[in-house]
Amino acid sequence: MQLTPLIAVHTTAALAALTIGPIALWARRGHASRQPRGQRPRLHRAAGYAWVTLMLVTALSAIFISDPAVPNIAGFSPIHLLIPVVLFSLFLAFRQLLRGNVSGHRKTMVSLYVSACLIAGAFTLAPGRLLGQLVWGQWLGLV
């Protein structure tokens, strides 16, 4: 697979989301009236909106990325199942906030970060994948 502009946008957004996600989780908001010490609501909101935007760019750009070397149906491989998971999880997380369910929002966002950024991100480092070839082959010279 070649590094096309679409793949560059997808990869850049995914790596930025991987980086910004912990900031949003670390600076969680809490309640405005009784804000616990150490919480940074402005930072949480800014990093959170940036992370959500990056996740949307990552998910929506993934729709148009296809690898013929991976088993697929009409260009969609099993990794494409993350697209509806990401979109639904983001919808659910904001719906929970609107209903005042901060705990549900937190759980949804943490599980989305772990599944879509950490676990799916780890699979991109497989030696046969573009990012895996770059890291293991070109940068580290191991493959």
pLDDT digits (tens, 9 = 90+) for 42-75: 999 999 999 999 999 999 999 999 888 788 898 8
Question: Residue 89 has which token pair?
Answer: 């999880």
Mean pLDDT of 132-138: 86
pLDDT at 31 over 60: no
CA-derived radius of gyration, the chain:
17
Question: Residue 46 has which token pair?
Answer: 């800014």
Domain count for the chain, please give it. Answer: 1
Beta carbons of 69 and 128 less than 8 angstroms apart: yes
**Would the pTM of this model clear 0.75, i.e. be above it?**
yes
pLDDT at 5: 96
- Domain assignment of residue 42, given as a range: 5-139
pLDDT at 34 over 80: no
Angle at 91 between CA 85 and CA 94, to 5 degrees: 135
pLDDT at 35 over 60: no
Q: At what angle do helices 102-112 and 5-26 cross, to 10 degrees?
A: 140
CA distance 34 to 19: 29
